Every structure is written in C-alpha cells, then in structure tokens.
Structure 1
Amino acid sequence: MMHPFRALASARPLRLLAIAAASAAALTACAPVVDVTPAKNSADAACAPMMVALPDTIGEAKLRKTNSQGTAAWGDPSLVILRCGVNVPGPTTDRCVTVNGVDWVIKEGDPVWTLTTFGREPATEILMDPDKISSATVLADLSAPASKIKATRGCVGQEDLQNLPTSK
C-alpha cells in the first residue's frame, strides 16, 4: 500500500503541469498590446472625447490595447490603426469624401491607405489596407467618434470652386 503523502506527492507534478498548460493557453489567447507611434499632438485634450467614443469593433475586427496615448487598433493582426493629433491637412488635390458629416482626405497607398480628417483640429489619421477591410466600413464606423472633434471647415470640390462668385 502506498503511503498517503507519497500519492499526494506524485499527483502534485501532474496538477502543476495542468495549471501551467492552462496558464499558457490563456496567455496565447490574449492579443499582445499594439505598438503604435503616437502623433505629435496625441495629448491634445480635444482627442479625449473621440477616443472614449471609439467602437469595440470595426466589421469583425475587435478593438485592441495600444501602448500610446491617442491611438487605437482593431484586429489581430491589426487591420485598422487610428492616431489622433496628427498634422492638420491643408489645401489638397487629394480625394476628399464626406461620411456622416465628417470630411476625410484619402491617400491611396500600396497596400496601406491613409485617411485623415479634414477641417478638424487636431486631425485624426487612419491607416488601413482596403484589401483586408472595407474603407466604407472603416469610415462609417469611425465618423461618429471623429465628429466629437469640432469641424472648422470642410472639403471643397472642383464643382464648388466653379460656383464661387467672381470679383470684378
């Protein structure tokens, strides 16, 4: 007959192994914190209302933790990166679209597109790959939070310029 302490001692390593395996599984299920370089003006207080209004998901991509103020990321790996406090875009010939009352300047890269709010200070920048997530979905989901930063001007298109009164 085995001594009761010896039986307990032989069961102990198995229990520790089971706990270690469960802990390892739990740790691998957690997505790591996303390393995002903050924008120059990421600490601007005007970013705060937008940051707290960000959605928990964009499409199927879930919001993840980032390591810097005024930033957010969705998806694992990241499909969408947001940075508040970037340089405010000036006049541009780049395409500008209005989504839910927010103007966005679109710079199409290969593969990453940069979408920047226009007419809002501080400006917000979104980096995303349109082959991996729809730009329409991203802009629809992020325009409401971006509208928390007051607009001071809007995009002007070619047709708007043609309709301006001329001075004589």
Structure 2
Amino acid sequence: MLPARSVIATTAAVLAVLALGGCARTIGVEVAPNAADPKCAEVMLAVPDELGPDLPKVPTNAQATAAWGEPGAAVTMRCGVDQVGPAADCQSVPSADGTTVDWIVTTDGAGTWSFVTYGREPAAEVIVPPAVTENHSTSFITDLADAVTQVPATKECQ
C-alpha cells in the first residue's frame, strides 16, 4: 500500500495531466458532403502529425477533417468534397518520395489559398489562410501526399 503522501502526489500529477490535455483547442471545420465515404477514413488515418517543421496537428470538430496550427491560423483539410472539373490552375506537385498529386490551386484574392485534389474521388480540400502564409510557404502541401494518395487517381492534369 502506498503512503498517503504518495497517493496525493500521484493524484495531483494525474489531474494536472488531464487538465493540460483538456486545454487542446478544437478547430471548427465544416464537414464535406461525402465525408462518410470509406475512402475518407483511409485518408484521415494517413494524415501527418505535423505540416512543415512547425504546424502540429490539432483536434477538429467534424468527420473526415484535419487541422494543423492554431485557431485563427490553421491549415484545414476536408475529405469528401465534390470533384472539381479540369481547370487551367491544375498543378502536378511531386513529393520527396516521388509521388505526384494533382491539385486545383486557387486563391481568393484576400490571401486564402485552396488546394483541391484533382482526379481522385472523393476529393480532398486543403485551405491555407493568410495567417499561415505570412510565415510559411504552401510547400507543405507535399506532406499530404501519403494521405491523399489513399484515394487512387483516375485522371491527371493536362
């Protein structure tokens, strides 16, 4: 049997860990129309714990979503968005392991970047707000190649 002092110290340590764990902020992300597609589960299981060197994964509030960063300055990802048709802004982006993912890349003029996988159904969408691009390039999109390639490509950029 543990001395009372040890029990109190252990209990205090456990409560401190639980309190700190409860401080994790949840990022609100709108669920995509086809988020229930089983392929999205495979995509979400393969997302990285970090984008680039300093954007850690944080909890989200919706199925088939992920986020990295902090509230107000988070990169968000949704799986199950509608497939985007061929567009002039389709870009083939190679990753370090040689995998190439085709993305439809747009910006809204206010500095928010949108990346939607092309030729994969269900499609995945990644939104990068200006608060992130102030200090980062969007090259971390290559970190998502392993995840989005869980959905096989059926078309490529032309």
* TM-score, normalization by structure 1: 0.72
* Unpaired stretches in structure 2, ≥5 consecutive residues: 1-11
**Matches for 1:1-168 after TM superposition, within 5 Å:** 26-27=19-20, 30-59=23-52, 60-77=54-71, 78-99=73-94, 100-109=99-108, 110-129=110-129, 130-137=133-140, 139-156=141-158
Separation of aligned partners in 1, 2:147 and 2:90: 21
Query: What amino acid is the match of 1:93?
Result: A
Separation of aligned partners in 2, 1:58 and 1:43: 24
Number of positions where the alignment pairs a residue of Structure 1 with one of Structure 2 = 135
Shift of 1:58: 0.7
**Does the C-alpha gap of structure 1 residues 148 and 52 become closer, same or farther in structure 2, counting only changes over 3 Å?**
same
Deviations 1:3-36 (CA, angstroms, capped at 9, x unpaired): xxxxxxxxxxxxxxxx7xx86xx45982221111
Shift of 1:133: 2.6
Deviations 1:132-164 (CA, angstroms, capped at 9, x unpaired): 432112x111011111111001000xxxxxxxx
Shift of 1:131: 2.5
Deviations 1:56-80 (CA, angstroms, capped at 9, x unpaired): 1112111111111010000113421
The higher relative CO (CA closer than 8 Å, separation ≥ 6) is in 2
Would the aligned equivalents of 1:79 and 1:132 in 2 still touch at CA under 8 Å?
no
Separation of aligned partners in 2, 1:152 and 1:95: 15
Would the aligned equivalents of 1:95 and 1:107 in 2 still touch at CA under 8 Å?
no
**Does the C-alpha gap of structure 1 residues 31 and 73 become closer, same or farther in structure 2, counting only changes over 3 Å?**
same
Would the aligned equivalents of 1:31 and 1:76 in 2 still touch at CA under 8 Å?
no
Cα root mean square deviation, aligned = 2.2
* Unpaired stretches in structure 1, ≥5 consecutive residues: 1-18, 157-168
Secondary structure class of the residue paired with 2:127: strand
Higher normalized strand content (fraction of residues): 2
Flag the structure with larger Rg.
1
Shift of 1:48: 1.2
Shift of 1:121: 0.1
Separation of aligned partners in 1, 2:157 and 2:49: 29
What percentage of residue pairs aligned between the two structures are identical?
Answer: 38
Separation of aligned partners in 1, 2:136 and 2:157: 25
Secondary structure class of the residue paired with 1:79: strand
Query: What amino acid is the match of 2:149?
Result: S
Would the aligned equivalents of 1:103 and 1:154 in 2 still touch at CA under 8 Å?
yes
